[in-house]
Structure 1
Amino acid sequence: MKLETYKKFVFASLFILGLTFSCTDLEIEETDSLISEDTGDTGFSGVSNPSSALNDLYNKVGGDFATQESMYSLSEVTSDELLVPTRGTDWGDNGVWRQLHTHTWTPDHAFIKAAWNNLNQNIFRSSEIIETTSADASTVAQAKFLRAFNMFFVMDLFGSVPFRGVDEGPDVNPTVLTRLEAYSFIETDLTDAIAALPSVGPGVENVGLASQEAAKFLLAKLYLNGHVYKGTGTADNADMQNVIDLVDEISASGFAVQEGYFQIFEPTDDSETILFLRSDLGARIWNSLHYNQNSPDNAGGGWNGFSTLAEFYDLFEGDPNTNYVGDGQEERRGFVPDAATANSENLGIGYGFLIGLQYNEDGTPLTNRQDQPLVFQKEFPSLVGNGEAEGVRVIKYHPYDPTDEDDQVNSYRQHQIIFRYADAHLMKAEAMMRMGGNPTAMVNELRSLREDTPDLGSVDEQALLDERARELFIEFWRRNDLVRFGQFSAPWGLKEISGDDNVNLFPIPATALLSNPNLVQNPGY
């Protein structure tokens, strides 16, 4: 199959639930995404249109991070932040969601395989652009950033990274980089990219493509997790100083923490967004909301799936059993519009964490499908046997779009933030702490810009991890944080298994092991 034809097939398939297509699992077939159409006796001659290939790759990466499976489920549903309870027969899906929450996944889990396939395919496509002699310096630099971006997540999620050269045909088994080798590869790609990427400041027109600031952010994230990736167990002071220096350089470009928490997640200018992906936001909006919570542009209503644990909700300031306007909650916990505050500008749909009775935009109480009051409850009886209303719901991107000139809603705008300055700010505070410094002032500097969020008297490791939870929920970093702080294998609500640090890495998919004998399964699987 020719590469361009294959691309059309992939893009058409990305939105199929489960992303279970297996054309990138390193099986030696002509549909394998890691085999170029130019392999063979003549060698690789380059992609025909590097700029078009780069644009396609940006779209592909955005699509990979848009779905509720794959990257999102592995980053968030495996943590204490989100769970997908089975409600009657809804969201049963042969147990795939429950396995993620309870850390009982296996090497044939569909979402693990999808993440592996997508990320590795993106690495190879980046290499094709990089190795095309007609590609200009800017295109190559952006492709190096995207290769580093995808390799970072393979390394983070799976440890080792398969790598196929663009000249290698189906008779060559991909080389496998160790985690330390992948770390060095990523570091080199990002360092090379920074030299040729533009330096940008804040603004929606600047932060949808790779930039020096985006590369520096990812490089800081690499160094912050360096003791995990290198296997040393203890943060290196040189790495932590690199984090501090890189964050300072990003700040010098004009990025800063800003007031108005939920406005940051609108497609408007802000000082925080360093990089957003071209990701359809439908899954971020509707997978948590009830079937009867809706907007004019979405005929089907919510999907009534994703919820949070009571213990995660309780990390936030405010009355633990209610979240209406004026309940003493901190800004980041959001609010539920009541009869008085429900209106066309919020569609009756709240922000942040939704608990208790829900309302329509005209202030009418909503009902469930049995015509009973729709009251989201904090506790779950178990992962199965739930009704429609169990679980506090989580929404960060809102269906109401204040930028729409016709005052309509736009649930699917292509603007998902992946790198944000508040994250960088907390990364710097953590680096200071790991070098023996006191991060309290920096954490309180952030909190002072979040309404009704009092200063903390002191900040230790647990307090800093909790602050990252409150600031960065559902932004793809919770699993990464828990691993770095040594808490990913700890028990939490409806998850009994604990103490097995083998779960810090996902298993290499079984199909990949069969097709590439250079791969070795991770311990414990």
Structure 2
Amino acid sequence: MRTNRLNLFLSLSAAAFVAVSCTDLEVTETDSVITPADANGSTFVGVADVEGALNSGYGTINGLYTDQANYYALQEVTADSYLIPTRGSDWGDNGLWRQLHQHEWNATQAFVGNVWGNVNGLQLVMSEVIDPQSNASSTQKAEAHFLRAWSMMTTLDLYGQVPVRDVSLALAAFPEVLTGADAVAFIAGDLDAAISGLPAASDFASREKATKEAAQFLKARLMLNKHIFTNAGAADASDMAAVISLVDAIGGSHALQAGYFDIFRDTEDSETIWWVPASVGNNIWNGMHYNMAPEMAGGGWNGFSTLAEYYDLFEGDPFSNNVDETGMAVDGQEERRGGVPSGGKLVEDVPGGSDGNGDGYADGSNIGNGFLIGQQFDYDGTPLQQRQGKPLNFTRGFGQSDNFDANGNNSSPELINNPEETGIRVIKYNPTYGAFTNHKIAFRYADAHLMKAEALHRSGNSGQALTMVNELRAIRGAQALGSISDQDLLDERGRELYGEFVRRTDMIRFGQYTRGWELKASASVGDSKWNLFPIPLAQLALNPNLTQNPGY
């Protein structure tokens, strides 16, 4: 029999997500694999329900991928890809979101503690599944190895230290802490066990759980970042060779796919390696304005935006990003930048579309894909307005209304005192095909393709890397590059993978995370302390083997 309890591996403060702004998700450790006897201090005797424990682990990951806060915020909002200004009193939250963009957080930051608690709790559960006393099948053990590797790599990436508790230890014993090469070796061992023990994906549904290809992808990502995790300086040639070999293995069953935004629908595609049944709702509505599709459950929350400099990574008119009635670009933009439609689509023209208010239009079809800038439109083509009656015209810049020029740039940018229309909005999962569909991509072949290109470049084979990058760009309707550099590779990953939980990690690997960007605190620029998050204070008190990261 299981009991709900928190062991010494977790602190009470990190056991649950806090409700923040429009986030209504809470993830807690609701299921422990410790028997009542264990909770009283007896020896661990195994997991009674292995499949239930694995499902609990997947549930933790689903929660992290559903949420717009916590893991997503640490990986995307702290990078150059997203920011959440305060508009009136909306999204103020005592400065929580502004801290992330400006790099001004500390060891009490809520998301830092929440993510620590969840990923380390997941690791402990998987260690107990792997223990021989749990009598897990070989496939179940392989799944647990994959999930433990994911949790440990996430911890290493975010915090630089990974506490590891042997299940045979007494509850009062302090967990060992792995760093650098030791942590990488442990994670690689888990992934080798997963690769050898997991089946290959057989169909779309099977990619919801751990597969051989998912484990190969995660190991490729581990090896690509190994020189960062171990503070080794330059990437080692053997590690880059491993990345190339692992991606080649994945390529036997996956391929790049044309039709960029079709990949993010709840349908079969050639790119998805691992998807999680996490709702896409937060990623749709956190940036949409309240008036964009009010008939749909949830509606817009008018929060998340991107910087003009991120938008400018893409080809196309810097001040306009529109598409015609067929969805074709009219402002010279590449496919991945998407565009703003001038109205909605008739419901009979949208397979599976809904018409909740009976107006004849598919719900949400007036909302564009990608980057939304400029005037937004209702289903019948009427220009939308914000709540004060002004045009709903998303701007490039941020700040008070009086300081905008005709191109939407602000002469006195600031993160507070913003009107409702400031900021370019970003959307990958379009509500036309489901406002809260439970299908979010975790690993994708285009990411693997670019990992291989980067590994080739870091190995001195820039010509082959350029060929691979241009292969992707051709499929995405972008012009070919004439040469390739570190900056080109980072920019290409930014264009392809925005909003996919990797931007912070990518920027650190390319030495860009501590650079300046618009509205970042000047005192934070160039300070390497921000490359790692602080160890939550409660965890330092619980485990003396942990040490606070430098600068905190």
TM-score above 0.5, yes or no: yes
Within the alignment, does 1:397 sit opposite 2:426 as a pair? Answer: no
Aligned to 1:285: 284
Q: Matched residues in 1 for 2:80 and 2:288: separation?
A: 19
C-alpha distance after superposition, 1:172-206 (max 9, x if no partner) = 122111232211111000001111100126x4223
Alignment of 1:502-521 (within 5 A): 502-521=529-548
Residue number among 470, 480, 485 corresponding to 1:455 in the alignment: 480
Residue number among 342, 359, 377 corresponding to 1:338 in the alignment: 342
Aligned to 1:186: 187
Paired amino acid for 2:239: D
C-alpha distance after superposition, 1:198-223 (max 9, x if no partner) = 0126x422311101100000000000
Paired amino acid for 2:437: R
Alignment of 1:259-270 (within 5 A): 259-270=258-269
Q: Matched residues in 2 for 1:162 and 1:234: separation?
A: 26
Aligned to 1:445: 471
Q: Secondary structure at the match of 1:187?
A: helix
1:45–1:355 Cα change, 3 Å:
same
Q: Matched residues in 1 for 2:550 and 2:18: separation?
A: 32
Within the alignment, does 1:162 sit opposite 2:163 as a pair? Answer: yes
Q: Say which is worse superposed, 216-225 or 488-497, in terms of deviation.
A: 488-497
1:15–1:40 Cα change, 3 Å:
closer
Within the alignment, does 1:329 sit opposite 2:333 as a pair? Answer: yes
Q: Matched residues in 2 for 1:290 and 1:374: separation?
A: 8
CA offset at residue 297 of structure 1? Answer: 3.8
Q: Matched residues in 2 for 1:517 and 1:279: separation?
A: 36
C-alpha distance after superposition, 1:16-72 (max 9, x if no partner) = 437999988xxxxxx997976425554112222111221222122111221111100
Residue 77 of structure 2 contacts residue 101 of structure 2 at CA under 8 Å; is this kept in 1? yes
1:184–1:250 Cα change, 3 Å:
same
CA RMSD in angstroms, aligned pairs only: 2.5
Paired amino acid for 2:263: I
Q: Secondary structure at the match of 2:491?
A: helix
Paired amino acid for 1:311: E
Residue number among 433, 437, 442 corresponding to 1:413 in the alignment: 437
Residue 62 of structure 2 contacts residue 278 of structure 2 at CA under 8 Å; is this kept in 1? yes
Within the alignment, does 1:467 sit opposite 2:466 as a pair? Answer: no
Residue 80 of structure 1 contacts residue 492 of structure 1 at CA under 8 Å; is this kept in 2? yes
Q: Matched residues in 2 for 1:78 and 1:485: separation?
A: 16
1:477–1:117 Cα change, 3 Å:
same
Aligned to 2:404: none
Q: Matched residues in 2 for 1:23 and 1:274: separation?
A: 27
Residue 53 of structure 2 contacts residue 129 of structure 2 at CA under 8 Å; is this kept in 1? yes
Paired amino acid for 1:464: L
Q: Secondary structure at the match of 1:172?
A: coil
Aligned to 1:96: 96
1:224–1:337 Cα change, 3 Å:
same
Residue 319 of structure 1 contacts residue 327 of structure 1 at CA under 8 Å; is this kept in 2? yes
Paired amino acid for 1:210: A
Within the alignment, does 1:275 sit opposite 2:266 as a pair? Answer: no
Q: Matched residues in 1 for 2:180 and 2:514: separation?
A: 20
Paired amino acid for 2:335: E
Q: Matched residues in 2 for 1:341 and 1:322: separation?
A: 21
Aligned to 1:28: none
Within the alignment, does 1:302 sit opposite 2:328 as a pair? Answer: no
Residue 293 of structure 2 contacts residue 363 of structure 2 at CA under 8 Å; is this kept in 1? no
Paired amino acid for 2:320: T
Q: Say which is worse superposed, 141-150 or 360-369, in terms of deviation.
A: 360-369
CA offset at residue 340 of structure 1? Answer: 7.9
Q: Matched residues in 1 for 2:526 and 2:287: separation?
A: 30
Q: Secondary structure at the match of 1:207?
A: helix
Q: Matched residues in 2 for 1:19 and 1:302: separation?
A: 14
CA offset at residue 281 of structure 1? Answer: 1.3
CA offset at residue 389 of structure 1? Answer: 0.5
1:442–1:20 Cα change, 3 Å:
closer
1:13–1:174 Cα change, 3 Å:
closer
Residue 63 of structure 1 contacts residue 278 of structure 1 at CA under 8 Å; is this kept in 2? no
Q: Matched residues in 1 for 2:364 and 2:93: separation?
A: 32
C-alpha distance after superposition, 1:245-294 (max 9, x if no partner) = 00000001x20101000000001000000001121111111101011122
Q: Matched residues in 2 for 1:471 and 1:523: separation?
A: 33
1:36–1:521 Cα change, 3 Å:
farther
CA offset at residue 524 of structure 1? Answer: 0.7
Q: Matched residues in 1 for 2:527 and 2:62: separation?
A: 33
C-alpha distance after superposition, 1:300-319 (max 9, x if no partner) = 41111000000000000000
Which 5+ residue runs of structure 1 have no aligned equivalent?
25-30, 402-409
Alignment of 1:430-441 (within 5 A): 430-438=454-462, 439-441=465-467
Q: Say which is worse superposed, 161-170 or 486-495, in terms of deviation.
A: 161-170
Q: Matched residues in 2 for 1:255 and 1:331: separation?
A: 21
Residue number among 358, 378, 386 corresponding to 1:368 in the alignment: 386
Q: Secondary structure at the match of 2:207?
A: coil
C-alpha distance after superposition, 1:80-104 (max 9, x if no partner) = 0000111111111111111111111
Q: Secondary structure at the match of 1:394?
A: strand
Q: Secondary structure at the match of 2:300?
A: coil
1:107–1:21 Cα change, 3 Å:
farther
CA offset at residue 347 of structure 1? Answer: 2.1
Q: Matched residues in 1 for 2:159 and 2:181: separation?
A: 12
CA offset at residue 4 of structure 1? Answer: 4.9
CA offset at residue 170 of structure 1? Answer: 3.1
Residue 16 of structure 2 contacts residue 27 of structure 2 at CA under 8 Å; is this kept in 1? no
> When the two structures are superposed, what TM-score results if normalisation uses the length of structure 1?
0.91
CA offset at residue 448 of structure 1? Answer: 0.9
Alignment of 1:14-163 (within 5 A): 16-17=19-20, 37=36, 38-39=38-39, 42-131=42-131, 132-163=133-164
Aligned to 1:27: none
CA offset at residue 236 of structure 1? Answer: 0.1
Q: Matched residues in 2 for 1:144 and 1:512: separation?
A: 24
Aligned to 2:407: none
Q: Matched residues in 2 for 1:490 and 1:392: separation?
A: 21
Identity of counterpart residues, as a percentage?
49
Aligned to 1:428: 452
C-alpha distance after superposition, 1:120-141 (max 9, x if no partner) = 1111111121124321111111
CA offset at residue 433 of structure 1? Answer: 0.3
Q: Matched residues in 2 for 1:53 and 1:425: separation?
A: 33
